[in-house]
Amino acid sequence: MQDSGYPVATLAEATHRADLVIYWACNPIHAHPRHMTRYPVFPRGFFRERGRKDRTLIVVDPRKTDTAKIADIHLQIEQHKDYELISALRAALNGLTIEADKVAGIPTEVIYQVVDTCKSAQYGALFFGMGITMTRGKHRNIDNAIRLVIDLNRYTKFILTPMRGHYNVNGFNQVASWITGYSYAIDFSRGYPVYNPGETSTINLLKRGEVDAMLNIAADAGAHFPQKAIEHIAKIPLICIEPHKTPTTELANIILPPALAGIECDGIAYRMDGVPIELKKIIEPPEGVLPDREIIERLIKKVKEYL
Amino acid sequence: MELIIKNGIVFDPANGIDGEKMDICVKDGKIVESVSDNAKVIDASNCVVMPGGVDPHSHIAGPKVNTGRIMRPEDSLMEIYKKKGQFKSGTGFSIPSTYKTGYQYSELGYTFCVEAAMPPLKAKHVHEEFVNTPQIEKTAMPLFGNNWFVFNYIIEKDFKALAAYVAWVLKVSRGYAIKIVNPGGTEAWGWGMNVHSLDDPVPGFDITPREIIRGLAKVNEMLGLPHSIHVHPNNLGHPGNWETTLETMDCVKEIKPAPRVGNRETVYHNTHVQFHSYGGTSWKDFEAKGVEIAEYVNKNKHVTIDVGQITLDETTTMTADGPMEFDLYMTTRLKWANCDVEVETGSGVVPFIYSPKGPVYSLQWAIGLEIFLYTKAMDRIMLTTDHPNAGPFTRYPRVIAWLMSKKYRDEWLYNKVHKWAHQRSRIGDSDREYTLYEIAQVTRTNAAKVFGLTEKGHLGVGADADIAIYEIDPEEKDGKKIEKAFRYVKYTIKRGEILVKDGELVNEKYYETWYVDVKVGEELYNEVLNDIRSKWPKLYSVSFENYPVSDKLANSWKVVKIDATDIN
Ligand SMILES: [Zn+2]
């Protein structure tokens, strides 16, 4: 995003307008079970009165997933060849000749057909899964996909949406940005925010062993961080603010279980399309269990007493 | 708590005070006739005293601004505030983080700011950022110009229902005024298209930009809102757009102002009019039409404008004008963010470098100054940079210096910017220099009036004690000195408390978020609410219950209540 930008839309935009929907490296039938039925594929939209019948569905996935099975076009891409296929689509779109017979396992003529389908759509929506960010090429895949969507906007309307799995990751990025100017990996040690991913990101700091204590809030470092970072976590005091038992809490010296947002306390979450959702409190938390906001406020108060 | 500001030279255009040496008395946060001998004395000798600045149009909070921050870590490196005592750190030159935004406004002597564009669906985001914005009072204008409910009520010519709908959105999004951005054009952008004239049909709807603007203007006056409609017309930034601008201004001419709060006398506000004053047919024969626009404003009393002065900096552009941002991206090929918002609006964010060496940018700079220099209707023009679109608000002092000093302006015109600026505009012909009285008009008085802020923008008895004191000789012509004096105040006082002294922050305070709560006839309101609710599930991806902004999302609210129950 910091290299190319971010052409997106809120979820119902695709419901109302999309006549072409592409799922790339994601299998919403299993991973986001309500996505297709609620937003871009099956429902009737303002300008798409017949729902599914008004839309072409393309799935890009090396496996014959359940989502791929109901697609109009399944591009059975070779593993880890996302970058190649996106580049080929861009090349075809920009009028270049592809000399190979196949790219990433997809016949060249199919690539040209898909580009035609995209160009002749009135509104295309590309949803990409975390798969694309985890395979070889990592964030360059997303960057290239963003470039593809931007290129397509010269011909028609096209938007892109990352299929983020984790709850309210966006909320953290948003708040961090308005408070500091940076969305993550922020180092305050110089008295002002410094951002240099690769240097100031959590994983790098842990791997270099520069961290001598860790406060982990609702993230699951134990499950997602590389081995070397986890090894360092095991050596230092770890405090977890976390309501569930997770691989990270297994390593914790102290666990502060907070109230559950949206059940035991209120709060705001930012959906992946940036729409803020207010979470309501439904029941009282167990006695003595505090919302994470209050736990942190009390921690700050205590820290200030020592300053 | 009492204060007396002694021996300052006071400029308070709303009360006709033009550079008189006088004392200003403050008690319990208000301006009063006199104070006791216990009052704290502030010595303002050799200083100029004005009401606190009021910014009528600035993008300081919400989804677009934050997208800019996320997309542009490089902007954060351009200006940094370190943590200092009670004051928080922050970063960002064109898109400062929220605390820094509040701090910097108060360093300029500003005490009130209007956030220029709020998508109702994402209103919570705007208000969450407001909660973390200190030093100023603020309010936001929800976007209505591409809203499907608005379209449908106008198509059905049901203006009462439209009035009730607007009242409802203002209340639940906690907004203040009707903002219209590229009416119909942003909806067309839902299909990758645009509209290009006032009478172009909007794709998918049987409506034109003219009908949208007129319908909303009419309803604005039925409701009697404190502010007029606030319009960013079609064709922003395109050579030749000046005719669309004049046509747009003219299309609401016969509508009569009827505010139920405040004493606004106008029905149409054209924001960042600099971007709408372009002649020619392409960037090759691009020419200035600032004088023509200024002359129209001089003659037509129903219009107010803010300028949107280009400051020739590296900045971040952001508007609800989705198609315009894509066009802009195509010229820079740097980065492009876009977010279309279901049912309501869209938005785009593009970084932009206005180099003084660029012929087009230099002429844009000159066009803004043309508008300032040729406008004689001094009670209907306001200073803005459409922050951060034409430049950051922290450049207001430089704009003031260009206006107050012909010498300084000419230095830029003949030595710093591209020759198109003097060849293709008429700013070189103007010897005009703004007086401090006029500076006060364009930076506080006029904005307070057109937004119906009766206790802001002046220093009369009963006004809020929001006061700026600048250390400057009223006859000063040295551009650098003028700039410095307005960049770092001698004092900023808000509600009688000192926030900034000698250019340094001394106090961090949080103030109200304003919104309008208009009551229309109950039966009508319920009818319209039922209509909205019945259509809701098919239109929105959030529930009807989740749409309103809850009470918690402000440090405190200032509710402007209006009784319009005669609309029934
Ligand atoms: Zn604006």
Asked, for residue A213, whether it belongs to a domain, the answer is yes
Ligand 1 centroid distance, CA of B337 (Å): 16
Alpha carbon distance B141, B120 (integer Å): 9
Shortest Cα distance from B332 to chain A (angstroms)? 12
Write down which residue in A118, A144, A162 finishes a domain: A162
A228 and A288, same domain (yes or no): yes
pLDDT of amino acid A137:
57
Domain ranges of chain B: 50-505
- In this predicted structure, the answer to whether residue A142 has a pLDDT above a threshold of 90 is no
CATH number assigned to the domain comprising residue A157? 3.40.228.10
3-state secondary structure of A75: strand
* Residues of A with Cβ-Cβ distance to B340 under 8 angstroms: 8-10, 13, 159
A143 and A67, same domain (yes or no): yes
One digit per residue, pLDDT tens: chain B, 568 residues? 899 999 999 999 999 999 999 999 999 999 999 999 999 999 999 999 999 999 999 999 999 999 999 999 999 999 999 999 999 999 999 999 999 999 999 999 999 999 999 999 999 999 999 999 999 999 999 999 999 999 999 999 999 999 999 999 999 999 999 999 999 999 999 999 999 999 999 999 999 999 999 999 999 999 999 999 999 999 999 999 999 999 999 999 999 999 999 999 999 999 999 999 999 999 999 999 999 999 999 999 999 999 999 999 999 999 999 999 999 998 888 889 999 999 999 999 999 999 999 999 999 999 999 999 999 999 999 999 999 999 999 999 999 999 999 999 999 999 999 999 999 999 999 999 999 999 999 999 999 999 999 999 999 999 999 999 999 999 999 999 999 999 999 999 999 999 999 999 999 999 999 999 999 999 999 999 999 999 999 999 999 999 999 999 999 999 999 999 999 9
- In this predicted structure, the answer to whether residue A133 has a pLDDT above a threshold of 70 is no
Q: Could you tell me the pLDDT band of residue A139, with boundaries at 50, 70 and 90?
A: confident
CA separation, residue A178 to residues B61, B217, B510 (Å): 8, 34, 16
**A161 alpha-carbon distance from chain centroid:** 8
- Under 8 Å CB-to-CB from A224, ≥6 apart: which residues? none
What mean pLDDT comes out for the span A271-289?
92
What backbone phi and psi angles, to 5 degrees, belong to B177? -155, 165
Write down which residue in A127, A162, A197 finishes a domain: A162
A62 and A92, same domain (yes or no): yes
Cβ–Cβ < 8 Å for B84, A187: no
Ligand 1 centroid distance, CA of B117 (Å): 7
Level-2 CATH architecture, domain B50-505 = Alpha-Beta Barrel (3.20)
3-state secondary structure of B272: coil
Query: How many Cβ atoms sit within 10 Å of the Cβ of residue A3?
Result: 13
- What is this model's ipTM? 0.95
Are B541 and A47 in contact (CB < 8 Å)? no
3-state secondary structure of B225: coil
A19 and A145, same domain (yes or no): yes
Among A2, A4, A10, pick the best mutation site for testing chain B contact (most B Cβ within 10 A): A10
- Mark A130-155 as b/e (b = at least 16 C-beta within 10 Å): ebbbebebeeebbbbbbbbbbebbee
Asked, for residue A2, whether it belongs to a domain, the answer is no
Q: By residue range, what is the domain housing residue A299?
A: 169-304
Ligand 1 centroid distance, CA of B520 (Å): 30
Look at chain A and report how many structural domains it folds into: 2
Residue located via tokens 């200024």: B294
Asked, for residue A53, whether it belongs to a domain, the answer is yes
Which residues have their alpha-adjacent CB atom under 5 A from ion ligand 1? B 116, 386
pTM of the predicted structure, to 2 decimals: 0.96
Shortest Cα distance from B347 to chain A (angstroms)? 9
Are B192 and A156 in contact (CB < 8 Å)? yes
* Residues of B with Cβ-Cβ distance to A10 under 8 angstroms: 121, 339-342, 541
Alpha carbon distance A41, A19 (integer Å): 9
* Residues of A with Cβ-Cβ distance to B173 under 8 angstroms: none
Among A177, A195, A200, A201, pick the best mutation site for testing chain B contact (most B Cβ within 10 A): A177
The DSSP code for B133 is: -
CATH number assigned to the domain comprising residue A177? 3.40.50.740
Of A194, A160, A67, nearest to B340 by C-alpha is A160
Of B71, B89, B190, the CB nearest to A17: B190
Shortest Cα distance from A221 to chain B (angstroms)? 23
Of A261, A263, A237, nearest to A172 by C-alpha is A261
Q: Could you tell me the pLDDT band of residue A249, with boundaries at 50, 70 and 90?
A: very high
Shortest Cα distance from B558 to chain A (angstroms)? 22
A130 and A145, same domain (yes or no): yes
A152 and A175, same domain (yes or no): no
Alpha carbon distance A206, B401 (integer Å): 51
Shortest Cα distance from A248 to chain B (angstroms)? 28
**Span B462-478, pLDDT tens digits:** 999 999 999 999 999 99
Among B335, B544, B551, pick the best mutation site for testing chain A contact (most A Cβ within 10 A): B335
3-state secondary structure of A22: strand
Asked, for residue A82, whether it belongs to a domain, the answer is yes
Alpha carbon distance B378, B344 (integer Å): 35
Alpha carbon distance B225, B258 (integer Å): 8
Of B481, B423, B447, nearest to B52 by C-alpha is B447
Write down which residue in A116, A144, A162 finishes a domain: A162
A150 and A190, same domain (yes or no): no
Of B235, B193, B213, nearest to B346 by C-alpha is B193
Alpha carbon distance B382, B388 (integer Å): 16
Of B453, B461, B439, nearest to B24 by C-alpha is B461
pLDDT of amino acid A4:
79
Cβ–Cβ < 8 Å for A130, A141: no
